[in-house]
Amino acid sequence: MLQNVAALVLDGVHPFELGVVCEVFGLDRSDEGLPVYDFAVVSGEGPVLGTHAGFALSVPDGLDRLEEADLIAVPAGESFLDREFPADVLRALTRAVERGATVLSVCSGVFVLAAAGLLDGRRCTAHWRHVDRLSARCPAARVEPDVLYVDDAGVITSAGTAAGIDACLHLVRREQGSAVANAIARRMVVPPHREGGQAQFVDRPLPRASSDTVGGVLVWMEANLDREITVEEMALRAHMSPRTFARRFQQETGTTPYRWLLGQRVLLARALLEGSDETIDSIAVRAGFGNAATLRHHFTRWTGTTPHAYRRTFASR
């Protein structure tokens, strides 16, 4: 059942992420025959809270309001990656999950759930910039870095800001059906379901060499992405045996020669898809994939979406 919804805010809350929850669950859309939620914003740290944007919020409802909520949504907040959270807030979240309520985090709100111990043994996600920090802070969690949201046993976590919309609409779809979720999405002028995961949004610079041993080879590889390059050829340029070169390359870049080269080719393909009108076949050749099918295979595995879908989303024209 999804009827009683509370947005739990803490000092430093990000207004937009709070707005995501308010927009999905806090508006009366009964004129379209859509559900009306019993919605409240609840403070975990007093009646007046600061925001990330510099203005204050007056929030009269306290933590007792959470005891009857079917859903507790936790928006992102300033310094959530490092700060401590009030013990009574963490206890309230734990009790909610134990009695069968759903908790949902938007972006860095996931760190509140982690502090409450709600991610232990569960799959979860976070903004791509924060997944390593979340893994370090909550080693018992199974962090999935490339997805927009994860729903695991009553705990829903989402990636960046817009992924909070995806997670909220997913919950509506799960509890009240696609027709309701689609109608809310239409009113919000957002897609009811987005293609791919957050990997397509990651600016993923590839590891550079920590010394000059293979640095010259990397420069040469970047200048020759459109041609066949073998490890033997790389090793010859570095004046090493292929086995020694492969070992040294791994030590200095943290990855293999093949994966480094593949990553550079995907990055070039992304740039061409974003900023040129070249055909997919032409881009495949320029980026060293040879043909569109090979480009599609590697591009999809690397970014979680197809070249065509990526171009529709990110093309500059």
Percent of the chain with pLDDT over 70: 93
**Strand 48-50 and strand 56-58: pairing?**
antiparallel
* Token pair in block for residue 73: 């949504």
pLDDT of res. 38:
97
Averaged pLDDT score across all residues of the chain: 90
Give the pair of three-digit tokens for residue 26. Answer: 């806090």
Asked whether residue 207 is assigned to any structural domain, the reply reads no
Q: What is the CATH number of the domain that holds 157?
A: 3.40.50.880
Q: Could you tell me which of 121, 119, 122, 112 has the C-alpha nearest to residue 92?
A: 112
Name the domain boundary from 172, 201, 230: 201
Q: Choose one of 174, 201, 228: the last residue of a domain.
A: 201
The pLDDT value recorded for residue 208 is 55
* Total domains in the fold of the chain: 2
Q: For residues 197 and 281, state if they share a domain.
A: no
Residue 205 CB coordination number (10 Å): 8
The answer to whether residues 128 and 198 touch, using CB atoms and an 8 Å cutoff, is yes
| 69 and 153 belong to one structural domain | yes
Could you tell me which residues come within 8 angstroms of residue 264 by beta carbon, excluding any fewer than 6 positions away? 206, 221, 222, 225
* Residues 294 and 250 occupy one common structural domain: yes
Alpha helices in 14-146, H assignment, sequence order:
15-25, 87-98, 110-115, 131-137
Indicate the Cα dihedral angle 54, 60, 63, 64, nearest 10°. -170
If asked whether residues 169 and 228 sit together in one domain, one would say no
Residues β-bridged to residue 6:
40, 72
pTM over 0.75: no
Average pLDDT of the residues in 19-26: 97
b/e per residue 231-248 (b: at least 16 CB within 10 A):
bebbbeebebebeebbeb
Q: How far apart are CA 175 and CA 43, in angstroms?
A: 26
CB 117 within 8 A of CB 50: no
Residues 123 and 47 occupy one common structural domain? yes
With vertex at residue 264, the alpha carbon angle to CA 129 and CA 280, rounded to the nearest 5 degrees, is 105
Per-residue pLDDT tens digits for 254-311: 788 998 899 889 989 988 998 889 999 999 999 999 999 999 999 998 888 899 998 8
Do 227 and 272 lie in a common domain?
yes
The angle, 0 to 180 degrees and rounded to 10, between the axes of the packed helices 292-303 and 257-275 is: 100
What pLDDT is recorded for position 254?
76
pLDDT at 314 over 80: no
What is the tens place of the pLDDT at every residue in 26-35? 999 999 999 9
